[in-house]
Structure 1
């Protein structure tokens, strides 16, 4: 803090460009918050409207970096308020673009984003074709998001015409790529491909990065149209240009091309060539690429091993690599969140101390300073204690949620289940090949769903029930003719319902393993979901051997689920041994109150 005190007077005299440079060098969270406070302390008296707007714009950049997007929007509204009847320069244009992009990217508020963009259009000079072209292209993006594809195509036409008028070939090509994306969304891949092949004729006029985007997009459309040889050619061209990009841009793009080429060769059943390209990713190093390409590389390599009929040891080894990658991603995510919480808390303490000092100094000049200071200190102490209590409580809940995701994922795809599944695949391939292929498909879909949902807080209820059904059918394959099941989803809603993933699987597993695993009588498993205003009631009912001290589920994941539901809905898990109900009843009934979101 000593060095910061020496800088205070200097910082207050700095122009907006000084704070703009601070953002550009990549400050830590606490440093961003520190400089934002200094920026707010700059007196705005006696300065021009243009400087006031610039200060507000830079403040919005700090707030967006700190993920305080609502505050960033307020700053940008202030920055744009100084523009009255006509845009005077490109800097004013950037304020409107930043506001519309904040609505679009961070808040997913497409209607407000469109409103800001249209207001910018009315303020532009009649002959400002360059900025009008950008407005049309943003209009295209918003209309495409709103699935108003006819209006999106019309805006795209206007943008392309104006980019040609100002001879901006790079943005013209990006506009054509956007047009092809609209045709793809409309289910017209041939038209999408035709748009891009027209652009290829003008490749020599494009920047390297735009060439990469062009061929990578073209390869994607070819692949989805089952034109795998053409897809390989397009991806190879994209790879040529991605290798020419700066090192901080080329790594992930190279990996994406290697994965895409490998998948195309798999489709052509050229497994050795597919292996060659996926090995190139491991040569680059998994740690040097983004997590999406890491996951795709590991999954593609697993598929290659299976198609090359490798023994169970190699397949299991690759699966271990996937688990290791997954565990690392979880650890990084938890550590990042914990570090963020720590930095925010430290910064809050620093700001509270500074505020306390200023208030004490002001009270020294009043008559009843000692009484007021005592009352103020007492109030601040109570406030800090209350704030600390709620922050600690929130931190504990978030930490338990992260642990819940980790434990549930291990529970759902535990090593025993995975090894048993792979062993069944191996043993059944020779005995019943069609049945084993169906089993492999379900196992692959379940594994993919687990990966995709592992970092999400809420998923569509239909996806979660499909994943649960795949899991139960895999267990039926493992325990044939041991039980029947029914998933009775009584929820009827015009809106899409989302629930936390992986809450039901541990209880379904318990019913199957402990309820039906040691009996020769065919049992029944019924899973019923009932909609309520506050929660979704889920009942898992089986007629197995029931609960006793030997088979009660004591895993920590069950306790975590119970704690999670108590915090979210106020009610934990209810487990009933139906033997206690009498009348010859048997089995177990589990009831959960699950929180939900509607979109």
Structure 2
């Protein structure tokens, strides 16, 4: 009887303690804080930093994760212009707290958007893309999201702008269209945001593979309507720039030149008003580069020469402000000018500088992406760890409150400890596997970026030879075909897997270029399977290095009658590629696989090893050489 009374007494005490703990519902607390925040935003004289610092010390808020996250977010928002390091610390606290919550989508949206803005101010582009897209995903997936419509619009436009920069055009189009849909439901005309959405839609549609002239024309009409109403100089400037792009795509060069000259006028006026503005300097520099190219294309060389002098002057005065991409655009225009004027030596100098700039672009973007994504992975791992530990503490406290009997507590804690040890082991193993896969993917991307400069260097060497011997027609034909091959190469190198038919097309284009280079001293034959090759996916740029070796080391020594045969056979989850040449073979067959490797061939072997580990399948390279030629057998992974 005494034991029963003791148990009832402990139960009553536990219930009283629990009822004291929950004083205000988290949603009500968050709503009250939101009302206070809106009121403070309307009062410019209020000391917001001191107010939110005081709220941080109140015990009621420290016990509620959502309210505490909201306070840290407001501290970050008010510190971002004064002390970005402290702002970053508070936004990370807010992220850690909000990640634990299953609900509060409006709060998550706000904090992710804030994290994106802070990352953008720090110059961490890929982190800002990550957080803006997380914030935009909440808007797109939750129709009942309760937050200010204009905040949704700004977030969607920020995410769309960054997605355009990383070639995620379809995602950018969806985000811009949703922003326009929200703007239509607002009572007043928001010309600034409507203009930005249509401008970004034009860029996404123009840069994407699916080119729709009617869509571009529709967006231009919208931009002209808005800019004519507002008469805002930058809106008029960007409208003219988009019109110039449109006419350029439709080969209406005189109209494109007219609109680019209007853009140049606005840029020059803006630079006069703000001589040290980096944006104005970059805009004028880029506009001049586009005009140089158009003048060269229409054979208006004096105008092109004057603009080259202007561009060189800007480059001398503001070299540190200009990005590698902007410099590359100008160098390309100058290369076209010198080539059209017959100054081959200058054209080659500009081509060499373009290669160096592109190499810097690839290297720097790869390093930045790797570093920033590593930081994101660390933050995610930290959030999961904090979430797991806090959940364990909460479970333990709840069990202690429900039952004060020592033996039962020991039993429950033992069971809880065993289950958590198992879960932690399982999570750690999953984490290691995920990190290994991510590491392999990054290694593949880095290896592919190593192959591109090597391939471009070899191809430009051939172009240099044609120019040196004054073979203009061959040079023009070779340059045109090379530009198509370079475009397809850049597109394929961005992907982990590409359709087999695209890879075959790129190889055939490459063989055609090499035929021109070697004066048609060899022929080639490509045998493909009867299946639909567009539905078969293979890793890009793995076959080309061995085709290159077949040309250089296989039939390169033959004066004529060289033959290269490429046979592709499809098996279950892999394809077998057979590359045969009728050259003289390698004299020392034991070194056929080691002494005659190009840099790209070595990189291809490394990629195959990574792919084998990633897909847990066998990849292989077999090389057989004799007096009748050389046979290379490649076994590659395949996806449907």
Moved more, 475-484 or 382-391: 382-391
- Out of 215-224 and 25-34, give the one that drifted further: 25-34
Equivalents in 1 of 2:298, 2:214: separation in Å?
24
Offset at 1:386? 1.9
Q: CA 1:99–1:221 in structure 2 vs 1: closer, same or farther (change >3 Å)? A: closer
Structure 1 residues 152-178: Cα deviation after superposition (integer angstroms, max 9, x where no partner): xxxxxxxxxxx9xx6776678789989
Q: Quick one: structure 1 residues 324 and 191, their matched pair in 2 at CA, closer, same or farther if it must change by over 3 Å?
A: closer
Q: Does the residue aligned with 2:148 lie in a helix, a strand or coil?
A: helix
TM-score relative to the length of structure 1 = 0.70
Provide, for residues 553-575 of structure 1, a one-character-per-residue CA deviation record: whole Å limited to 9, x for no partner.
Answer: 44431321321442355232332
User: What SS is found at the alignment partner of 1:545?
Assistant: coil
The answer on 1:273 being equivalent to 2:270 is: no
Is residue 2:73 matched to residue 1:19? Answer: yes
Is 1:261 equivalent to 2:291 in the alignment?
A: yes
Q: Tell me whether 290-299 or 517-526 shows the greater mean CA deviation.
A: 290-299
1:216 Cα deviation after fit = 0.8
Which residue does the alignment assign to 2:581?
Answer: 542
Match of 2:240 in 1: 215
Say whether 1:510 aligns with 2:549. yes
Q: Distance in 2 between matches of 1:114 and 1:213?
A: 17
- Partner in structure 2 of residue 91 of structure 1: 148
Contact 1:222 1:228 in 2 (8 A): yes
Equivalent residues in 2 for 1:310-321 (5 A)?
310-312=343-345, 314-321=346-353
Structure 2 length-normalised TM: 0.66
Task: Name the structure 2 match of 1:560.
Answer: 606
How many residue pairs match? The answer is 530
**1:81 equivalent in alignment to 2:144:** yes
Which residue does the alignment assign to 1:37? Answer: 96
Q: Does 1:300 align with 2:330?
A: no
1:341-380 equivalences under 5 Å are 341-348=373-380, 350-351=382-383, 354-355=386-387, 358=390, 359=392, 363=396, 365=400, 366-368=409-411, 371=414, 375=418, 378-379=421-422
The alpha-carbon distance between structure 1 residues 405 and 384, as it changes in their structure 2 partners (threshold 3 A), is: same
Alpha-carbon distance change, 261 to 108 in structure 1, aligned in 2, over 3 angstroms: closer
1:58 is matched with: 110
Aligned-residue CA RMSD in angstroms? 5.0
Question: Can you list the C-alpha shifts for 1:373-393, whole angstroms capped at 9, x where unaligned?
Answer: 763674466346524532442
CA contact (8 A) 1:239 1:254 kept: yes
SS at match of 1:367: helix
- Is the Cα contact below 8 Å between 1:59 and 1:75 reproduced in 2? no
User: Aligned partners of 1:112, 1:273: CA distance in 2, in Å?
Assistant: 41
Q: Which residue number in structure 2 is paired with residue 573 of structure 1?
A: 620
1:409 is the counterpart of 2:452: yes
2:293–2:336 contact (8 Å) kept in structure 1: no
The residue aligned with 2:4 is none
* Structure 1 residues 385 and 545, CA gap change in structure 2 (3 angstroms): farther
1:279 to 1:537, Cα distance in 2 relative to 1, 3 A? farther
Q: How much has 1:8 moved relative to structure 2?
A: 6.4
Unaligned runs of at least 5 residues, structure 2? 1-52, 117-127, 401-408
The match for 1:469 among 499, 508, 516 is 508
> Cα deviations across residues 91-124 of structure 1 (Å, max 9, x unaligned)?
2575599689979967947999799799x78xxx
Instruction: Decide whether the 8 Å contact of 1:96 with 1:117 is kept in 2.
Output: yes
Q: Deviations over 1:527-555 (max 9, x none)?
A: 23445663454332223233524553444
Deviation at 1:507, TM superposition (A): 0.2
Could you tell me how far 1:403 is from its partner in structure 2? 2.9
Q: How far apart are the structure 2 equivalents of 1:40 and 1:382? A: 22
How many Å separate the matches in 2 of 1:286 and 1:496?
Answer: 47
The Cα shift of 1:525 comes to 0.9
Cα distance in 2 between the residues matched to 1:298 and 1:78:
44
**What corresponds to 1:230 in structure 2?**
255
| Residue deviations 1:310-337 (CA, integer Å, cap 9, x gap) | 243x444323322222222222222223
